[in-house]
């Protein structure tokens, strides 16, 4: 980066003349002297900044005033197709220290700008006196965007897909049903692309492989990794007017998922981990619906059995509500194992090929497993004898799942 301090040593009388000229210019342009730190951004195309208001900006709300200034300035340029901004009349060192957090917040809050990553670069120039410096900030974008001849075509495709899914989701009777519709759509129509991930991780790689990190990859290409799943879910929730944000952490490796707010209460949803990607020999979904619900509207306590939440840059709220948890809401949970009650829950899911039951304790899950599989009592459940059956037991979340082929 270049940081230049202007001046001429030994020429104080000329310096005084220059300062007088600057002060006069300040009166003319700004209507008098004031706090330079409060001056508006000078953008690349005009001198206006659109404040953040039209979307849910979870991370923006955690920024300080300097970081918000950077965020707003870059957001204004992104909306006009730019990647950079220039901010005048500031303290360079203060703003340079705020760039990284502001850019990460911008990326996480706005999945619609799918071509940017959370990286950035900046340079600056010192001015005369306090709060008179300039900083130039440039967002970095994925390589695929650098080779795109018609960017609008790609954004139009993504926006059309988001609107299409949101309209169908909006036909559902309740807000939780809308959320479930979107969750199921993404899980059922997206393949976790291991091959593209391996390609994208190479130093020299095919630029198109980078789409897997975006909402575009998930919804248009229908191939993504966790970032793509989470950004797509977030983007559709925003279209529906449901507060939703992008969360990062670790789950055996870097991972991303979502936090949503329903009736003022927070829940976690991890569509990636609810996608088993059960495919047949032709690469098509093997099971009707193809969605699981181990990570649908769960608490922090449930999530952290397998995930670690990153709070390196931002505070993440604790989720304790259970009202809209899949198993609680649909009454697919057993406090105590009862064969007859289990059969009733299975029959409620007769239209699904993936059938899930959650238990209140590990002891009750073990009772069910022993009765059903050690004693072969599953053979007395008509719905499970109509086709080939396999099953899994999730001891972390106390869930028994049947797969009907």
Q: Where are the domains of the chain?
A: 3-141
Strands laid side by side in the 333-334 sheet: 333-334, 354-359, 399-404, 389-394
Helix (H) or strand (E) holding 135: strand 133-141
Identify the band that residue 286 occupies on the pLDDT scale cut at 50, 70 and 90.
low
pLDDT of residue 54: 54
For the residues of 165-192, what is the DSSP string, one character each? HHHHHHTSSSHHHHHHHHHHHHHHH-EE
Most trustworthy range by pLDDT among 128-142, 157-171, 190-204, 390-404? 157-171
Is 40 a residue whose pLDDT tops 70? Answer: no
pLDDT of residue 282: 57
Give the helix, strand, coil percentages of the chain, each rounded to 5. 40, 20, 35
DSSP, res 2: -
- Mean pLDDT on 22-27: 38
Q: What are the structure tokens assigned to 299, written together?
A: 């608490």
More confident residue, 287 or 3: 287
- Mean pLDDT on 291-314: 96
Look at residues 280, 405, 375, 267 and name the one whose alpha carbon lies nearest to residue 323.
267
Give 70-122 pLDDT, tens digit per residue: 999 999 999 999 999 999 999 999 999 999 999 999 999 999 999 999 889 99
Sign of CA dihedral 79, 80, 86, 89: negative
More confident residue, 284 or 369: 369
Q: What are the structure tokens assigned to 227, written together?
A: 């970032």
Identify the band that residue 135 occupies on the pLDDT scale cut at 50, 70 and 90.
very high
Q: What are the structure tokens assigned to 11, written together?
A: 């020429």
Helix (H) or strand (E) holding 254: strand 254-262
To 5 degrees, how large is the angle CA 245–CA 189–CA 116?
Answer: 45
- Mean pLDDT on 274-292: 65
Distance of alpha carbon 217 from alpha carbon 223, whole angstroms: 5
The radius of gyration computed from the CA coordinates of the chain, to the nearest angstrom, equals 27
pLDDT of residue 38: 28
Distance of alpha carbon 129 from alpha carbon 82, whole angstroms: 30
To 5 degrees, how large is the angle CA 146–CA 150–CA 154?
Answer: 90
Q: What are the structure tokens assigned to 210, written together?
A: 């980078």
pLDDT of residue 106: 97
Is 21 a residue whose pLDDT tops 90? Answer: no
Full-model pTM: 0.84
Burial class (CB in 10 A: 0-12, 13-18, 19+), 293: buried
pLDDT of residue 273: 94
- Mean pLDDT on 211-236: 97
Query: In which region does residue 55 sit, left (phi positive, over 0), alpha (psi from -120 to 50) or beta (all else)?
Result: beta
Distance of alpha carbon 107 from alpha carbon 115, whole angstroms: 10
Largest CA distance in the chain: 100
Is 22 a residue whose pLDDT tops 50? Answer: no
Give 255-264 pLDDT, tens digit per residue: 999 999 999 9
Other C-beta atoms within 10 Å of 303: how many? Answer: 24
Cβ atoms of 272 and 307 within 8 Å: the answer is no
pLDDT of residue 271: 97
Give 158-217 pLDDT, tens digit per residue: 999 999 999 999 999 999 999 999 999 999 999 999 999 999 999 999 999 999 999 999
pLDDT, mean over the chain:
85
Distance of alpha carbon 380 from alpha carbon 386, whole angstroms: 11
Is 370 a residue whose pLDDT tops 90? Answer: yes
pLDDT of residue 252: 94
Instruction: Please name the residue that has the structure tokens 């879910």.
Output: 233
pLDDT of residue 344: 97
Is 29 a residue whose pLDDT tops 70? Answer: no
Cβ atoms of 307 and 250 within 8 Å: the answer is yes
pLDDT of residue 4: 26
Look at residues 293, 287, 316, 141 and name the one whose alpha carbon lies nearest to residue 216.
141
pLDDT of residue 52: 37
Distance of alpha carbon 265 from alpha carbon 271, whole angstroms: 19
DSSP, res 285: B
Contacts of 133 (CB under 8 A, 6+ apart): 89, 90, 91, 92, 95, 124, 125, 126, 127
Is 36 a residue whose pLDDT tops 80? Answer: no
Contacts of 240 (CB under 8 A, 6+ apart): 166, 169, 170, 178, 182
Distance of alpha carbon 232 from alpha carbon 219, whole angstroms: 7
Strand pairing partners for 224?
Answer: 192
pLDDT of residue 337: 97
Look at residues 265, 254, 333, 262 and name the one whose alpha carbon lies nearest to residue 294.
333
- Mean pLDDT on 331-360: 95
Strand pairing partners for 133?
Answer: 90
Is 353 a residue whose pLDDT tops 60? Answer: yes
pLDDT of residue 405: 80
């Amino acid at each position: 980066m270049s940081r230049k301090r202007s001046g001429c040593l030994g020429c104080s009388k000329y310096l005084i003349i220059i300062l007088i000229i600057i002060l006069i210019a300040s009166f003319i342009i700004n209507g008098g002297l004031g706090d330079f730190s409060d001056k508006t951004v000078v953008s690349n195309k005009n001198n206006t900044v659109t404040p953040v208001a039209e979307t849910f900006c979870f991370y923006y709300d955690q920024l300080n005033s300097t970081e918000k200034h950077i965020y707003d300035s870059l957001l204004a340029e992104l909306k006009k197709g730019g990647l950079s901004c220039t901010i005048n009349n500031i303290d360079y060192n203060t703003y340079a220290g705020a760039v990284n957090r502001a850019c990460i917040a911008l990326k996480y809050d706005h999945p619609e700008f799918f071509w940017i990553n959370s990286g950035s670069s900046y340079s600056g120039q010192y001015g005369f006196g306090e709060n008179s410096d300039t900083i130039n900030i440039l967002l970095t974008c994925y390589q695929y965007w650098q080779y795109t001849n018609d960017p609008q075509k790609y954004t139009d495709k993504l926006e059309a897909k988001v609107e299409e899914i949101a309209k169908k989701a909006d036909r559902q009777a309740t807000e939780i049903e809308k959320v479930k519709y979107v969750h199921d759509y993404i899980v059922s129509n997206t393949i976790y692309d291991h091959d593209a991930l391996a390609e994208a991780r190479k130093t020299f790689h095919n630029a198109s492989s980078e789409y897997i990190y975006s909402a575009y990859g998930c919804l248009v290409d229908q191939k993504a990794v966790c970032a793509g799943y989470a950004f797509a879910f977030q983007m559709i929730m925003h279209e529906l007017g449901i507060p939703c944000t992008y969360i990062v952490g670790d789950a055996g490796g870097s991972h991303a998922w979502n936090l949503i707010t329903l009736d003022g209460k927070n829940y976690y949803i991890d569509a990636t981990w609810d996608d088993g990607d059960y495919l047949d020999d032709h690469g098509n979904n093997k099971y009707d619906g193809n969605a699981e619900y181990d990570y649908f509207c769960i608490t922090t306590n449930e999530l952290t059995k397998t995930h670690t939440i990153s709070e390196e840059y931002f505070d993440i709220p604790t989720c304790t509500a259970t009202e809209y948890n899949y198993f609680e809401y649909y009454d697919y949970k057993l406090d105590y194992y009862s064969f007859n009650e289990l059969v009733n829950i299975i029959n409620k899911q007769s239209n699904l090929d993936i059938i899930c039951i959650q238990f209140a304790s590990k002891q009750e899950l073990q009772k069910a497993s022993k009765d059903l599989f050690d004693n072969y009592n599953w053979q007395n459940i008509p719905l499970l004898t109509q086709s080939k059956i396999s099953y899994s037991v999730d001891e972390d979340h106390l869930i028994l799942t049947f797969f009907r082929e």
